[in-house]
Structure 1
Amino acid sequence: MTTYVALLRAVNVGGTGKLPMTELRSVCAAAGFTNVRTYIASGNVVFDSTLAKRAVQQALESRLEAYAGKAVGVLIRTGKEIAAVLQANPFSNEAANRTVAIFLDDAPPADTLEHITGRRNEQVALGKHEIYVHYGDGMAKTKLRIPAAKNGTARNINTIAKLAQWAAQS
């Protein structure tokens, strides 16, 4: 049995992709996942499964598409991987609520930093399958654009810490 963390893209953000967390838990249970818990209403779910990581992603994506009538992006990390993301945060001395990891399916391209636009006082660093960003003035007025992050989904360090804690308790 493996503990997984699923991070859904564009769920309950800016009035798009409405998905009540009770429904997300039901979708996960229907996929055969156990010990299902959701964290805040932005598409974070921790659960256990005997399936391999890719099979978990496919099962969740297909059930969410059936529910929503459109594709819903899902990024999967094991409990150990989410803990490693937290541990690897290069901005650990900065405010956790102003620091995010943008989760990607694959490693960020080597030229990611070269293609960033709108950068002001944001700090950006590449991780294994993540892009870390510290927003010095917060995210509200940022003009930062990271083309390599377009298919990713961001979570702040506080959220990642909670998900890692939950995954470790399974």
Structure 2
Amino acid sequence: MEKKIAILRGINVGGKRKILMTDLKSMLVEIGIMNAKTYIQSGNVIFESELKNLELSLQIESEILKKFGFDVPVIIKTRAELKAAISSNPFFTSDADMSKLHLTFLNKKPSEKDIESLRSFDSKEDQFEIQGENIFIFCEGKYHQSKLTNNFFEKKLKVGATTRNWKTVLKLMELSQD
């Protein structure tokens, strides 16, 4: 079975759309997902499955809506996809300040037209690079003060997005190795 990582968008942020990780794990067991491990309260789950990523995303989204009563976008990545993303980060070097690095996961590859339109955006001190279904971000300041938000990328690229800081990305990779 293949290791997968579910990345949920917008849960447990500011006391809204609250889902306890124990409840999330129980829900996943109810729909047949076994060996699930969660990491921090923001909705990161490592598990094994033979199902396709899109099928899993839709299944988990549907079950969250049914059980908790709100829409939560879910992006699934395989361990191999996460590993490839980590090795492709143009801003990650041995001396990089990891607190300035972030990875925005997209639920599908944006159109070339939308990518080209986005490339003309000047984000001042923050930088980004799109590679397939990933956007690598370098924030000179704090991420929460950046214009390079999930909503920004979703509007410009017409795809779903969720972002994790680099420390979380690396931890998800580490946890998926077990």
- TM-score, scaled to structure 2: 0.85
Q: Identity of paired residues, percent? A: 30
Alpha-carbon distance, 1:97 to partner: 2.1
In the aligned structure 2, how far is the partner of 1:87 from the partner of 1:124?
A: 16
2:164 is aligned, of 129, 147, 155, to: 155
Paired position in structure 1 for 2:129: 125
Q: For residue 41 of structure 2, what is the aligned residue in structure 1? A: 41
What amino acid maps onto 1:101 in structure 2?
A: L
| SS of alignment partner, residue 46 of structure 1 | strand
Unaligned runs of 5+ in 1: none
Q: What's the counterpart of residue 69 of structure 1?
A: 69
Q: TM-score, normalised by structure 1?
A: 0.89
One-letter amino acid matched to 2:165: N
Contact 1:101 1:154 in 2 (8 A): yes
Change (3 A) 1:149 1:46: farther
Alpha-carbon distance in structure 2 between the residues aligned to 1:141 and 1:63: 33
Structure 2, unpaired ranges of 5+? none
Compare the two structures and name the one with the higher helix fraction. Answer: 2
In the alignment of these two chains, the number of paired residues is: 169
Which of 142, 146, 153 in structure 2 is aligned with 1:142? 146
Residues 14, 149 of structure 1: alpha-carbon distance in 2 compared, 3 angstrom cutoff: farther
The CA RMSD over aligned residues, in Å, is 1.9
Mean alpha-carbon deviation: is it higher for 142-151 or for 57-66?
142-151
SS at match of 2:124: coil
Runs of at least 4 residues off by over 4 Å:
none
1:17-96 superposed matches below 5 A: 17-93=17-93, 94-96=96-98
**Which residue of structure 2 lines up, in the alignment, with residue 105 of structure 1?**
107
Report if aligned partners of 1:102, 1:149 keep a CA contact under 8 Å in 2: no
